[in-house]
Amino acid sequence: MGTVYASLTESGDRVAVKVIHPMQAGDPDFRARFRREVRLSARVRGPFLLPLLAADAEADAPWLATAYAPGPTLAQHLAAHGPLAGGTLYAFATGTAQALAAIHAAGVVHRDVKPQNVLLTPAGPRVLDFGIAHAVDGTSVTRTGIVTGTPGWISPEHYHSGVTAAEGDLFAWGALVAYAATGRLPFGGGAPEAVAYRITSGQPDLDGIPEELKEIVERALAKEPAERPDAPTAAEACAQLLAAENTQILNGSTAAEAGNALTLIEELVTAQWSVPAPEDLSWPRPDAVPERSSRRRALIAVLVVAAVVGASVGGALAFRHGGSPATGGSENTASAAAAGGSDTGNAADPTRASGPGTDVPRQAAPDPRTVPVPTDPLAGVAGPAFSRSDDEAQPVPGEWSASRDAAGTAEKETAAAIRDQMTAMLATKDMSFMTPTVTFNRQAQTVIVTGGPISTVTDDYKEVFRRASEMAACVSLAHRLKDAPARWPYGRFSVYWKDHKGQDEATILGFGKATKGCYTEEAGRRQGTDEGIATSEIPSTDKDEIRIAAGTVKAITTAWNTRVAEGHGLEPFDREDAITLGFDPVQRMMYVWAWDGSGVLTGRAQQAHFQDVVTKTACPRLLAEYNANKEWIYTHWAIAAYQGNSAWPQLFTSGNCLPAESRP
């Protein structure tokens, strides 16, 4: 949906600013939803929430600002330090329940309570993200294309009927507290549909939770919404446990009698809260930041320190306003990478070493990242086992249901190779849960890759699955056809999606033949595609991709602005974050695109300058990472631009950073 910036007000207060992505901002329906999000967020106040401080839903780039809270998410804390215990656990349960009580009291349902949306700050837990909250009257504020909720944190009634109400938040709260207490997902992990089945039909794993707290959690995880406590009841029950830990007693006072019950709960949480304090980073003073236009002076973004929220284009963090990053890589790191260094911790691949003190040839062993696939692996072969090379017929009904599991060494190795390649591609987009099934139809001479059933996957994710399947199958089959043309009968591949278990015929997503070439053929002349752009826009979860993206975006922006200042007849882009990039692991290409509303790149000369800037700034970083990190697969790039009010970019050039003599 946008990017969250750690920012400073003119008075020096730290705030977090969510800036909406331009493509979303141009959608009138989205703007209407964002206005409602702002109104809903403004309703909610409580000690364990981050209050909305300011917003502008009508700005060219709509934004909202909340108080800044340092600290890891619950998920990050458990990964680093293990489960919460004792008073800290009770304080966590109390604070998060009280936060939900405040949300529900304002007539809002959160709908996305999960470990990633709870920060552990020095002052206690803080519940975040009303980006998909909605009012009790049913008007939703949802992120376009994203299924409401997160598998593992969705209530049984939501799976059954799509109902999202306050009781669903309490179910997710019970799962959240169980996770905090044990470090285990109460309904396990795995495929989303398997988790959904356990939530709707199984029992949670609550072993290890203190008995008094376990009773409250069990009630919150009841299958029937009416059997769950409401948020104030859960908060009060947890506060009683917390008071006992703190040797204080609530004395059974009601809120009306005490008048300060909420203050007491906040004090109890603070007294018992004990988590490692995060590093207190030094932020630049407002007067140290270059002056902005009056329109932007209210909030001066100095440094990106937070992950992209939702489906932000490129899926990479970009350090735009100077300073040192608070998390992840740094500009020093990016500079080192450009000079040939790396901060990945991976030793340089000795098979590609060069320079003084080594006699190992640069290509002493095949590099799996650049092994070429011939355009037609059966060219010149007489009587190949695959006899459908010239057959252009589409798959017919029954091919999928008649396929079978791999039999024999060659088929098993091919199935494993396809699965391994797909897993590597999908993992960079946080899509490892889309595990493929590979089967064989000897009569049709076809290898079949099937995904699903996963009911919560959007069409965009299915499209990436299709592309990854076709590439992996094409490459694997092409090598088999080349190595054993007289024995290997499979040259066609089909990709299917199974919508539910037990169906007789799956939905076909795509098909092709290995004899028609693959994406990896002729690596020196690989071209960008619209499908590649779409895939690169899905946020990356790979730390190396995020790190390289950060330094590259800044380098391209700086180099372009330098050329503008030198007087080459060029113009600056009409927005500071006009240049973005992302990675397509299917085609193994980095995409750089510009948001060119004022037509900066309309002429051939301007495009040539931009291509030269990308080549001279992006290629050193890609090649440095390629030489230092044997897992790095990106040496190709493509450039596109969103021009004017276009909703889809125009591809206008692409290239390969590898020297000609190094190409396969």
Q: Out of 11-20, 387-396, 599-608, 633-642, which region has the weakest mean confidence (pLDDT)?
A: 599-608
pLDDT class of 519 with cuts at 50, 70, 90: low
DSSP 395: P
Where is 166: in which H helix or E strand? helix 166-182
What value does the mean pLDDT take over residues 106-125?
88
Closest CA to 543 of 657, 470, 631: 631
Q: What is the largest CA-CA distance in the chain?
A: 93
DSSP strand pairing (507-513 vs 579-584)? unpaired
Please give the Cα distance from 532 to 536 (Å, whole number): 6
The DSSP bridge partners found for residue 404 are 440
What value does the mean pLDDT take over residues 177-195?
88
What value does the mean pLDDT take over residues 4-18?
85
20-51 core/surface letters (b: 16 or more CB in 10 A; e: else) = bbbbbbeeeebbebbebbbebbebbebbbbbe
- Check if the beta carbon of residue 502 is closer than 8 Å to that of residue 518: no
Tell me: pLDDT of 494 over 60. Answer: yes
pLDDT on residue 35: 81
Tokens of residue 127, six digits = 């519940």
Tell me: pLDDT of 148 over 70. Answer: no
- Check if the beta carbon of residue 639 is closer than 8 Å to that of residue 592: yes
Mean pLDDT estimate for the chain? 76
What value does the mean pLDDT take over residues 633-655?
78
Q: Is the dihedral of CA 35, 37, 43, 47 positive or negative?
A: negative
Give the rounded distance of the alpha carbon of 331 from its chain centre. Answer: 22
What value does the mean pLDDT take over residues 81-94?
92
Tell me: pLDDT of 286 over 90. Answer: no
pLDDT on residue 247: 54
- Check if the beta carbon of residue 657 is closer than 8 Å to that of residue 526: no
pLDDT on residue 275: 79
The tens digit of pLDDT for each residue in 350-385 reads 223 333 232 323 333 445 565 566 678 888 888 899
Please tell me whether the overall predicted TM-score, pTM, comes out greater than 0.85 for this model: no
pLDDT class of 349 with cuts at 50, 70, 90: very low
The tens digit of pLDDT for each residue in 212-254 reads 999 999 999 999 999 999 999 999 999 988 888 765 444 444 4
pLDDT class of 641 with cuts at 50, 70, 90: confident
Closest CA to 610 of 658, 655, 648, 556: 556
Phi/psi for 552 (5° steps) reads: -70, -45
Please give the Cα distance from 132 to 48 (Å, whole number): 19
- Check if the beta carbon of residue 14 is closer than 8 Å to that of residue 68: yes
| Residue whose token pair is 């304090």 | 277
Rg of the Cα atoms in the chain: 27
Tell me: pLDDT of 401 over 80. Answer: yes
Do you know the residue count of the chain? 664
CB-based contacts of 36, cutoff 8 Å, min separation 6? 135, 139, 141
Give SS3 for 354. Answer: coil
DSSP 359: -
* End-to-end Cα separation, the chain, in angstroms: 40
- Check if the beta carbon of residue 475 is closer than 8 Å to that of residue 549: no
Tell me: pLDDT of 256 over 90. Answer: no
What value does the mean pLDDT take over residues 289-300?
35
pLDDT on residue 373: 65
pLDDT on residue 260: 56
CB-based contacts of 78, cutoff 8 Å, min separation 6? 84, 115, 179, 180, 183
Tell me the residue type at 367.
D
The DSSP bridge partners found for residue 135 are 108
Tell me: pLDDT of 90 over 80. Answer: yes
The tens digit of pLDDT for each residue in 422-442 reads 998 998 888 888 889 999 999
- Check if the beta carbon of residue 113 is closer than 8 Å to that of residue 169: yes
- 3-state helix, strand, coil split of the chain in percent (to 5) is 40, 15, 45
pLDDT on residue 277: 72
Where is 77: in which H helix or E strand? helix 74-81
Tokens of residue 448, six digits = 């079949």
Percent of the chain with pLDDT over 70: 76
Q: Indicate the Cα dihedral angle 167, 172, 173, 177, nearest 10°.
A: 150
Closest CA to 6 of 337, 415, 281: 281
Q: Out of 14-28, 229-243, 348-362, 512-526, which region has the weakest mean confidence (pLDDT)?
A: 348-362
Please give the Cα distance from 649 to 531 (Å, whole number): 11
pLDDT on residue 244: 82
The tens digit of pLDDT for each residue in 315-343 reads 222 222 222 222 233 222 222 222 233 22
What value does the mean pLDDT take over residues 537-566?
89
Percent of the chain with pLDDT over 90: 30
pLDDT on residue 648: 63
What value does the mean pLDDT take over residues 7-17?
85
DSSP strand pairing (134-135 vs 446-451)? unpaired
Look at 502 and 451; give whichever has higher pLDDT.
Answer: 451
- Check if the beta carbon of residue 596 is closer than 8 Å to that of residue 573: yes
What value does the mean pLDDT take over residues 282-309?
38
- Check if the beta carbon of residue 62 is closer than 8 Å to that of residue 25: yes
DSSP 144: T
